[in-house]
Amino acid sequence: GENVEQHPSTLSVQEGDSAVIKCTYSDSASNYFPWYKQELGKGPQLIIDIRSNVGEKKDQRIAVTLNKTAKHFSLHITETQPEDSAVYFCAAPGGGADGLTFGKGTHLIIQP
Amino acid sequence: EAEVAQSPRYKITEKSQAVAFWCDPISGHATLYWYRQILGQGPELLVQFQDESVVDDSQLPKDRFSAERLKGVDSTLKIQPAELGDSAMYLCASSPMRGVTDTQYFGPGTRLTVL
């Protein structure tokens, strides 16, 4: 099955700086890579996703890049704000028929 | 904005007791998932429904866990008997159609503590 590894486990950045979270996957057939944000006591919320037919996707301050050859994808957050503090999860297909396999998460801390 | 509803939000039980969690997906969503999230880890799929049918329950510990979606709308996940290792967040998600590239929308989860 799919194996997703995520780094770092904790990331602390100054407000206004950029943050980058990286994930690798094992199944070369995977074609969909979502990123979820989970705030304390809440369920994961989709923030951006990318499909294998594109290499990059942007939505305001958030972007995701995909390198299918190397089997890794990254989340980029620019101009970080206090409300960006949360746990971020990457995922890829492989958790069952249509389920997702998630990384272990990155705790992003925005320092004022 | 439509959301996935789950109840209860928190449940404390003693080992060997039975517990049940309820999920109401976004209206019209055909696919429903139950995931388990152990503290400090990502969610792991337990079971997937397409309408009222189970599509995948390969990761569901069937000796103690059961899930149903009788009318293809809301769903119940049951654990009997609960064990200490079952302490986790149980998340329900739904998507409009079947397919891994279809966005999965998660509910707030039920936090289970087994004493």
Angstroms from B33 CA to nearest CA on chain A? 8
Residue A97: predicted pLDDT: 82
CA-wise closest residue to B112 among B32, B14, B5 = B14
The residue among A54, A89, A100, A101 with the most chain B CBs within 10 A of its CB, best to mutate, is: A100
Q: What is the pLDDT of residues B22-51, one digit of tens each?
A: 999 999 999 999 999 999 999 999 999 999
The sign one gets for the Cα dihedral B51, B56, B61, B62 is positive
Nearest to A104 among B42, B56, B106 (CB): B42
Q: What is the DSSP string of B52-86?
A: TEEEE-TTS-TTTEEEE-TTSS-EEEEESS--GGG
Pick from A33, A22, A2, A3: which is nearest to A108 by CA?
A22
Residue B100 pLDDT level (bands cut at 50, 70, 90): confident
Return mean pLDDT, chain A.
Answer: 94
Residue range B4-17: mean pLDDT, rounded: 97
